[in-house]
Every structure is written in C-alpha cells, then in structure tokens.
Structure 1
Amino acid sequence: MRHLFASLDKEKSMTLKDDLTRVLFVGLLVVLTGCSNTEVSGQTDMAIEAGVSEVSSNAITAISFYVQLASNGQLVSPEASSFENMVTRFNEAHPEIRVSLEQSVTQRPSILEATRRYDCFVHYQDELKSRHANDLLSLSPLFEAESSVFQEDHASIHLADYRLEGELYGLPAVSRPTLMAYNADLLAQRGLELPSMDWTFEDFLELSLAAASLDDADRSYGIAHGDDLLFTNGRNVGWVRMSTYPPSAYFDGPQTQVHLNWLKLMQDQGVLLNYHSDNYKYVQQEITNGRVAFWEVLAGDPSLYYFDPEQELPFEVGVVPMPLVPDPERTATRNFLDRGYFISRHSEAPQACWEWIRFLSGQPDVFIGLPVRRSVQESQAWQALYGDGTAQAYLQAFAQRQPEHNLAPVIWPLNELRAQAIEDALNGGDVAQILADAQEKADIYLACIGDLYIPELADQVVEQRVQVCAEQINVSFGVDLVAQLVFQEYAKAGT
C-alpha cells in the first residue's frame, strides 16, 4: 500500500479541513494511478488519521533523488554537505520513507534523462520544455491540495516559470540573481561613496569613471565585465527590436556604431576591463589584487567568484543589486540560474517525493542563493546566513527580474552576433566593417527564420529551425550558460 503523510507539516499547523482535503486527494491519486511504492521489506496496511499515516516499522518507501549542485567556483559544491545533512534529518524524521541521494557538479543529466533515472530531482528551470510534459508528473494536484498558507508562500510569477499549458511541472526552489560586487577599500581610496541598494546606471558610470586610473603606479579599473547587457540596457541601445514578429536587427545603425566606439573609449580610459576565455587569469589577478572597483557575482557565492572561499578577503567587499536602467522594461540583471524540484511521471512513489520536496522547500540552508518561498526569505535563519546587507541585496535583485521575452528562443543567435561584434571591436577592429558584417549575418538568419510563429509550435520544432538557421551564419547551437559556468570552474581549478 502507498504510505501517505507520515508526519504533520512542521512548517505550519494545518486545520482539520486542510488535513481531510489532502487525505481525500491522495486517496483519489492512489485509485487513479493504481501504482504501489517500492518497499524495502514487507507490506503493511495503512491507517490515516487527520492527515497522518501510521505504518509498521518494516515498510519503507524508497525514493531516488538527484540534485544538480551549484558549482560556485569549486569542483566540490558547498551544497553537497547540506543535502547530505537534509537526507539524514528527513530519513530520521520519516522512517517510512528512505531517500537515496545522488548529486553532482559537472555531470548533468538532461531533464528527460533524469526522469528515467530518478524518482525526483532538482534541475535548472530554463531547460524545462513542453516536450518534457510526457515524462514529468504534473504537480498541480499535489500543490492545490496543500493549504492556502503553503500555496501563497510561492509567488505566482515564479510558479509561472514552471508551468506548461497551465499545469505546474516544477516547484521553484532557489534563485541566484546576478549582483554587483564592489571593492569598498578602492572606492574609499578614491574618495567615493559606496553604491546604494537603489543606485542607477548613471551612478554606476560616475563611480566607475572616478575609480579608474591609468597611472602605472596606481592602476585600477572601473569594472571587469564580459557581457554588454549592462551597457546596452543602461544606454538604451537598440540592437534588436522584438516588439513585432519576426524581430528586426539594427546592428549597423548609427546608434550601435556610437555605442561600440564609446565602449572602446571606456576600455582605453581604463574604465572597462573586458574579460573573455583568453584573459580570465589576468582578470582574476587584477580583482584579487584590489585593482578593480566593480565586478559581477551570483547570489550565494562565498568566493565572490574570484577568491578562495577558505581564505579571508584581502579587502572589504560589498554587494548590491545591479544598477537600475532608464527603461523599466529592461534590466541590467543577466540571469538568475533558477532551479526547481521535479517528480518523474515514471516514479512509483510520487507522494513520498512530494513529502521530501515539501520538507526541503521550508529549509533556509539547503541551497546557496535565494530561497523562493517568501516565509524562508523573511526568516531570521536565512538572513543570518548572509548578513542583513547582503540578504537585502539578494532580495532586491530578485525583485528586479523581468519575465523572459517569448521570442527568447529565437533571439540567442543574434545575441551571439552582438557579443562577437563587441569583442572584435574591443580587440581593435574597424567598427563600421564589424557591424556591417554582423548585420549581413543577422539578415540571413532572420530570413531563414521567416514566419516561424513560436506560440503555435512545439519548442523542439522551434529549436530545430533556430539551429538550422544559426548554422547558416556559423553560430554554434546549444552552449548554454550552465555549461559555460562549468567550463569556467575547470579553468579556475587549473584543469
């Protein structure tokens, strides 16, 4: 028999009505699925009383759980010990369920592969596609059977990221927004005020210009930056127009030429230290030696991406949200690296997985970064992990997020063209010629995309068309942000 609700929810006191709702729902789930859990030894009858199942000691429901760990600049994630501790705590508190944990930093099964190997797992939200609906369990019935307290603890804007055709296929777990780290000692040395939580792009430029120095005896940079999104959105530069379909590219317009020449000037004046795969070690050296005022980090990173987390920082470092840009529809935050909980449709123990996920979702110290549940964000336990100032920066950065544009699957090859054009210009190329070449490729790509209309097509069809069209302009397909970060971790480790 299926073993349900082995213990009361430790995060809240549930009403009898809530208990009965959950019991009735799970009973219906058992009838509909006709599945039985894997039992390590023996079987037992189940008695349900006020949402609690009473089971004999020899009946254990075993579930396999996989987590894609955050790497944090290390090949051994600080999340590893957290999950091991959580498994021990949960197994002791729920003797009728046995969680078997598998975790990895560099080995990353796809969502589809994970559904075939594990009962439940943690994975990156941006990889959730409509084609996964056949292999993922819809969490909508489980979620809706919970109390209103639990449901309202998850903001609808975050739940929407895990919905396919209205069904909830994942439960938001953690987010790691991009923030701006700053060298407080260098800013003080230059007689500058520290950035505030609500600073603007103009504030950022003013501080970066004032912090930079070309003096060999006192050299410093304003910002180490490897992506133009901050400057593009801060200066409201229009590379691509997405208000109509198909989108339009304006790579060789006068605005983009002015922008690239401005970036070159910022580099020449020492304001911008542009980093890429070939100069990572140099950038790391300049930052750790205290010669860079600003650089980007991900929430929860104790190494601030460039430092040894086991050693004391050589100078005072603070973090603030990315600066506010003029257009409220834009954001200077590049990514969030959201991860969520998923249950395989092939699992024979979905309810045990849900109990485990519910337990994890209420813990403040499972993941590095920002927990998505409101009550956990507001808890003293979570805020104490990072300190009031840093925790506030995480929360404010999280609140600045913008919904992903529905044309995002089509736009990424154009973003690759933009990034390559900027790199070529900063390496000394002719700006006008670089942009003319980029515009020609953009036109070829958009002509290939044609009248592809995303809302009416499966994401796999869109991906295939985008891949074919991207190959026509020699843009590689499928190098996602997570893969890039894993590559960078190996580079840091010297492997």
Structure 2
Amino acid sequence: MIKGNTLSSVCPTWNTGRWRYLNKTCRVKSNSPCLLLLYKRIREEKKMRKKFLLFFLAIVMILSIMTGCGGSNDVVPEDSSGQSESTTKDSGDTKVSEDDNKEDKNDARYEISGTVKLAIEDGKFPIIEPVVEKFKELYKNINVEVDRYTVGTAEYLTANASTGTMPDVVLDDAGQLTYYASQGWLYPLDEFIAGDPDIQYVPENILKNYTFGGKLYALPYRANFETIFLNLDLLDQLNLDHPELDWTPEDYAELLKAATTNEYSGTEILWGMDESFAGSMSKNYGKYAYDFDTQTYMLTDTWVKGVNLMREMREYPGLEAWTLRNSGVNGDTNDYIKKFGEGNTDDLHMAFKMGKILSDPRGTWDVAWLRDLKFEWELWPFPQGEQGHLPMHIDHNFMISSCKDPQAAFEFIRFFSYSPEGNIARLDQYEDENRDDEITKDLFYIPVTNHPDVSEKFKALPNVTEGIAYMYDNIKNSFRSDLSKIIPNYDQVNNEYLSPRGNEVRDGIADAASVAAELQDVASKAQQAYWKEFEDILKKVQEEFDSKHK
C-alpha cells in the first residue's frame, strides 16, 4: 500500500473498495469512480518528491564546492580500529573504495579453474540452465558438467557412491542433510566462507541450521513460506477488512468465522495448522514448538494454545469445508455437496477452486497452479503471535566430500546461493520481458541473501507483492518448518509419537494439555537419542575427512 494515498482521502464517498496487491501494483476495483483521481494524486506527490530531491542535490553540490575550496588539509575519518575509511594502493594517492576491493576479489574469483560435475533433479534443470551459462561466462576457467537424475537424491548418491562416480555438487535439493552427512558425503564449507564479505548477508539462523558438529555443511538455495491464501474477490463480496501483515492467529480465526455463511466457508482445511501455530505463536520455537538449543519439543506451551485454537475453528459450524465431508475423503460427502453444489468431490480442494472458500493454508511453492484460478487472490503472511516469526522451508546446495576441485565446486554453489551476481541472474528470468511461462510458472523465487542489490531487484519484480516482500524481509526472524531436512530422524519421531497422538487432539478425542505433557517427554527423549546417535557417527566422519585433507 502507498502510505498517505487512501481512497477516502481522495474521495470521501468511497467506502467499498480496497487495495489489492497483485502484479506488484496497488489496484482498486475496476468500477471505481475515484481511480483517476487517485492516480492523479499519486502523480502529484511523486512530482513534489522529485522537486524536493533536485533542490536537495543542488544544496549538496554547493556545499561540496565550498568544502573543496577550504584548503588541502583534508582529514580522512577513522573507524573504531584506527584505520582510515579509505586505504591507499601502494604509496600513491589513489583511494581504493569498498566497491573497488569487491571488484578485485571478484576478479580473483573469476580466475579460479577446475571442473565441476553438477547433479540436479531432471525437472529442475531448465530453470537454472541460463544461470549456469552466466556462471560459465564469468568463470571462464571452470568447466561445468551436468548430470540430471530422475530418482531421489539419496538413492542417486547411494548408487553413485557404490560405483565411485559421485558428482562434485548437488543443487536445489530438499532431502535429509543429516543423513547425507552421516554417510560422509558432504564437504565442510567453513574454509571457503571465511573472509567472504557476501556471507554476512545470509541470515545467521539459516547457516546455524546447516551447521552440524561445529561445521557448515550446506548453503541455502531458496526460501519458501507457508502462507494463507486469500480469495480477494470473496473478501470484497463479503465486505470484510483485509488483514494486516502482522495479524495474529486470533485475527485469523475471527476472519474465518466472519466469512462462513450458508454459501461460503472460511477455509477448505485446517488440519496440521497447529504444528505451525506452535512456532509462529512463540519467539524461540519452531514447528511443533521444537527448541533447537535443547533438542526438545516444548509442547505444553504454544502447541496447546495453537491446537486448541484450531479445534475452536473446526467446531464452528461450516467454517472448515473438510468437516462437511463427515468421514474423510471416501466418506459421505452429502453435506459438502449440499453447501457447495455438484462437482468433483475427489478433488480435496473442490470448493476452494470454485471460489467458495475465503482462505486456505498454502505455500509459496503452490503459485505454479494457483495462478490458473479464475478469481483474484494473493498469498498473505502466516498469522503470527510474535511479529515476523513465520514458518519457512529452505532448499539447499552442497559439495560432495570427494570433489577434485573444491574451490571451483564452492564457487559454483556460492553463485547459486548468496552471490549477488548469481541471484540477480536468477531473478532476471522473472522479469516480464524474460519470463518463459513453461519454465517460470512459479512467477518468482525468494532469495536467501539480503544483499542490498538482490533485495532491490527482488522487490521490483512484477509479481512480488507486499505480502511476499514482508516474508522475505523476515527470513532472519522466521523458523524452519521443514524439520526433516535438518533434524536426524524427525520423520520417525513424528510418525511414532507426534502425529498419532496429535491427531487424537485435533479430532477432539483427547485433551491437549494431557497429550502435550506426555509427548513433550517421550518425543523429546526420542529426538535427543537420535541426535546423540547422529553426532557420534558424524564425529567419526569428520575425523576421517580431516585425515584425508591434511
């Protein structure tokens, strides 16, 4: 939203429209009689800002000239270490700026040589192929070979390890890093990031999640977020207020209740929302209130609050369309059909796709198919008890421990992770004039670096809305909701303990507080035991790696 340009300030009679955040531009209802007046006001304000900027620049130039006439006793300011902000090259007077230093370092990087064998899932290669070409254009001395595989990454690496044909790097993976590390497949990255000025722009919480046994084993590739899908047409039709960026789970519940009528439902499904509420309602915990520092699930706190709120919404008549199916997917769907009409009830999102649902828990990874919906919509930040504490998923890049040219391999995964040049090349593909509908169906990707150049480029993309930009800005405050990638044997703990007993609470069979106390004990003990087993194995793996790389 453009602050200060409200519809009411342009035309006090306007009281039914609302701002839309689609395709980057703020839009109002197409039948607005005030649209031209609004745009006129925005243009006038832009002209005033431009005039002020020109006046300010003129004053600065005059002051600069006056300062330059004040003699030759120039004083170079010093930083806290006593070093001048500008350094000199050799003994001359030419100052070397930070940008010059950066260019020198990049020039040195581009001289690195070697061969990099890239492994990537077959379907993921088309989107990165132009960026690989950009890498080769900059790194002329690095030869890149590509191996596209069609099985899971773990299966691919297991097979290649047995034949001695391992790749050097794996890109855009969503597998279990702790398993890869326990097999001795990963190359520690600490020596490569040391002294790299661009690593400072990668949020610390992300690097911490990739650090095992005191060593960094992967770099982030891109971020995705769990979000709340909003049907904007229905929001208008029901005359409901658009939620704020930092809305709470309680705000979410009230909106869904307000949207529930004889014809419409607040959401298609709520199942599992409690798992993410447990993180978003806290300051320090993740999914299922997982505490990374103690390796425990603190379920008696925010999970109890989250699951009870979810149950409250499920018990509100007609709010959750899923409950109208009565006994699940293959059960009686009469109530569902009575409310929403005939259709393909095998499609678990039938009413949602018909436009009869206000919201639904969706991820940014769903954009590729959501874009085909026939009504206006947007993805809005997940409700937060702690501002900006959002559930996110991160895919990763890593080097293989047997790679022959490790510096070249690192430059490759760095380029696709946090280098400004690599990210800008990737973002270029999502500009309207460059976008290939078959390849860039997801409309954007969320970078994992907050480098100023990358941030500016990302937020200027035509399909990055205010809500998506808010998620990006809060990566540093968000929590990992894809625990299976970074916690050893999380799936086993979830399948054996968390999910079965949690489902009893979600269905109203068991009491949340009682189950939470039980699970907090048994699930935490099981998880800690898996961590201990993993860390013991990893210690031996690290010793073996160190002995081979002295």
TM range, smaller chain: 0.5 to 0.7
Q: Which runs of 5+ in 2 are unaligned?
A: 1-97, 331-344, 428-443, 539-550
Q: 2:227 aligns with which of 169, 179, 204?
A: 179
1:119: which partner in 2? 168
Instruction: Pick from 229, 233, 239 the counterpart of residue 191 of structure 1.
Output: 239
Map residues 389-404 of structure 1 onto 2, 5 A cutoff. Answer: 389-396=466-473, 398-402=475-479
Contact preservation (8 Å) 2:313, 2:320: no
Label 1:389 to 1:259 Cα distance change in 2 as closer, same or farther (>3 A). closer
User: Secondary structure of 1:138's match?
Assistant: coil
Counterpart of 2:185, as a letter, is D
Q: Are the equivalent residues in 1 in contact too, given 2:116–2:143 (CA < 8 A)?
A: yes
Q: Is 1:341 matched up with 2:397?
A: yes
TM-score for both structures, normalised by structure 1: 0.63
Match runs of 1:6-45 below 5 Å: 13=99, 15=101, 19=105
**8 Å Cα contact 1:64/1:120 also seen in 2:** yes
**Structure 1: stretches of 5+ with no match in the other structure:** 1-11, 23-48, 56-60, 70-76, 426-430, 463-495
Greater Cα shift, 88-97 or 164-173: 88-97
- Deviations 1:434-487 (Å, cap 9, x if unpaired)? 9899799959x939958965665425889xxxxxxxxxxxxxxxxxxxxxxxxx
Match of 1:84 in 2: 129
Give the Cα–Cα distance (whole angstroms) in 2 for the partners of residues 198 and 447 of structure 1.
Answer: 31
- Going from structure 1 to structure 2, the CA distance change for 1:459 and 1:187 (only over 3 Å counts) comes to farther
Aligned residue identity for 1:63: V
Query: Which amino acid in the other structure matches residue 417 of structure 1?
Result: P
Are residue 289 (structure 1) and residue 354 (structure 2) matched? yes
Asked if 1:152 corresponds to 2:200, the answer is yes
Aligned length: 386
- 1:373 correspondence with 2:449: yes
Q: Does the aligned pair in 2 maintain the 1:178–1:397 contact within 8 Å?
A: no
TM-score by length of 2: 0.57
Deviation, 1:208, is: 0.6
* 2:379 counterpart residue number: 319
Structure 1 counterpart of 2:400, one-letter code: S
The one of 358, 361, 364 aligned to 1:299? 364
Q: Which has the larger radius of gyration?
A: 2
Cα distance change on mapping 1:436 and 1:143 into 2, 3 Å? closer
Query: In structure 2, do the counterparts of structure 1 residues 14 and 417 end up closer, same or farther at CA, with 3 Å as the change threshold?
Result: farther
Identity of aligned residues (%): 17
Q: Residue 423 of structure 2 aligns to a residue in which SS? A: coil
Q: In structure 2, how many angstroms separate the alpha carbons of the residues matched to 1:54 and 1:228?
A: 48
Which has the higher mean CA deviation after the structures are superposed, 393-402 or 289-298?
393-402
What does 1:65-464 align with in structure 2 at a 5 Å threshold?
65-68=118-121, 79-103=124-148, 107-109=152-154, 113=158, 116=161, 117-122=166-171, 124=173, 127-129=176-178, 132=181, 134-146=184-196, 148=197, 150-213=198-261, 215=262, 218-229=263-274, 262-266=312-316, 268-271=317-320, 273=322, 278=329, 281-303=346-368, 307=370, 309=371, 311=372, 313-325=373-385, 333-334=390-391, 336-361=392-417, 362-364=422-424, 366=426, 369-375=445-451, 377-381=454-458, 383-396=460-473, 398-402=475-479, 409=490, 412=494, 413-422=496-505, 424-425=507-508, 431-432=509-510, 446=522, 449=525, 456-458=532-534
Cα distance change on mapping 1:180 and 1:115 into 2, 3 Å: farther
1:66 CA displacement: 1.9
Residues 220-255 of structure 1: CA distance to partner in whole angstroms, max 9, x if unpaired? 33453331325667899x99897989868779x998
Counterpart of 1:227, as a letter, is G
Return the alpha-carbon distance in structure 2 between the equivalents of residues 256 and 324 of structure 1: 11
1-structure distance, mates of 2:288, 2:449: 36
Q: Which amino acid aligns with 1:318?
A: E
